[in-house]
Amino acid sequence: QQQVKQSPQSLIVQKGGISIINCAYENTAFDYFPWYQQFPGKGPALLIAIRPDVSEKKEGRFTISFNKSAKQFSLHIMDSQPGDSATYFCAASTNSGAGSYQLTFGKGTKLSVIP
Amino acid sequence: DAGITQSPRHKVTETGTPVTLRCHQTENHRYMYWYRQDPGHGLRLIHYSYGVKDTDKGEVSDGYSVSRSKTEDFLLTLESATSSQTSVYFCAISQTGRLASTGELFFGEGSRLTVL
């Protein structure tokens, strides 16, 4: 069964602090690991993504750390801001064949950044 | 924002009635998807399409059917709605089926369905 396990379910961080969200997977066929950010009343939007041949990817204040041997990856938000308050989903995809794919999402982490 | 329009955005219906949700895109993307989002479950794939009249089942397809007669439209139908289908439904599109090569799945703003 393809699963992506995400933790914590909710997270409260002080402004300026570091937010860390963790995900673990089982299927070694996964070849793409995106993170999506969702604000209330909106659809998810791609935040940052990584491929398994890279151990870390940084875009501004957002960093993905990837540990292939442990089958884990995490999102770090540096200098967290109240505007970062949203629900974050990790995900993983594999090419299921015939040119199609399936993207499996974690259950989400609700981040609240307090002033 | 990606050109994805979902309709209706909100709907309240009764158990046993048929419901159709529509997703319309202006991006000419080949791949379209329907997800449902529920608290504690994240986003789960219902059905997806990899071309006109080409569809396949996702993780939670029971009780749902889809149709795609044109590139721009992907319809999700609940033949006989049940309370367990109360959810927020998201349509998504992608340029190709292999996300590692394109990097992005674009989501619509969702359709909130309540089945009483």
Taking only the tens place, the pLDDT of each residue in A38-74 is 999 999 999 999 988 899 999 999 999 999 999 999 9
Average pLDDT over residues A21-41: 93
The residue type found at A76 is H
Which regions in chain B score pLDDT beneath 70? 1-2, 96-103
What per-residue confidence (pLDDT) applies to A51? 87
> How close B67 comes to chain A (CA, Å)?
17
d(CA A75, CA A89) in angstroms, rounded, equals 10
What per-residue confidence (pLDDT) applies to A52? 86
Q: Are B75 and B58 in contact (CB under 8 A)?
A: no
Average pLDDT over residues A72-91: 97
A4-13 residue pLDDT tens: 999 999 999 9
A6–B42 C-beta distance less than 8 A: yes
Asked if A101 is an interface residue toward chain B (Cβ–Cβ < 8 A), one would say: yes
Residue A22 structure tokens: 């963790």
Q: Over pLDDT 90: what percentage of chain A?
A: 78
B107–A44 C-beta distance less than 8 A: yes
A6–B48 C-beta distance less than 8 A: no
A107, closest residue in chain B (CA to CA): B42
Which residue's entry shows tokens 């609940």? B78
A102–B100 C-beta distance less than 8 A: no
Q: Are A42 and B108 in contact (CB under 8 A)?
A: no
B57-78 residue pLDDT tens: 988 999 999 999 999 999 999 9
Can you say how many angstroms the Cα of residue A86 is from the centroid of all Cα atoms in its chain?
12
Question: Residue B91: which of B114, B116, B115, B64 has the closest Cα?
Answer: B64
Q: Tell me whether strands B31-38 and B87-94 are parallel, antiparallel or unpaired.
A: antiparallel
Burial A72-91 (b: 16+ CB within 10 A, else e): ebbbbbeebeeebbbbbbbb
B104, closest residue in chain A (CA to CA): A46
d(CA B49, CA B46) in angstroms, rounded, equals 11
User: What average pLDDT does chain A have?
Assistant: 91
What per-residue confidence (pLDDT) applies to A68? 93
Q: Over pLDDT 70: what percentage of chain A?
A: 92
Residue B83 structure tokens: 């309370």
B40–A107 C-beta distance less than 8 A: yes
Other Cβ atoms within 10 Å of A59 Cβ, number: 10
B43–A44 C-beta distance less than 8 A: yes
Query: A100 to chain B: which residues are within 8 Å by CB?
Result: 31, 48, 50, 56, 97
Burial of A29 (0-12, 13-18, 19+ CB in 10 A): exposed
d(CA A102, CA A3) in angstroms, rounded, equals 11
Query: A103 to chain B: which residues are within 8 Å by CB?
Result: 45, 99, 105
A1 pLDDT higher than 70: no
B56–A100 C-beta distance less than 8 A: yes
What per-residue confidence (pLDDT) applies to B40? 85
Question: Residue B78: which of B51, B37, B32, B47 has the closest Cα?
Answer: B47
Beta partners for A49?
A34
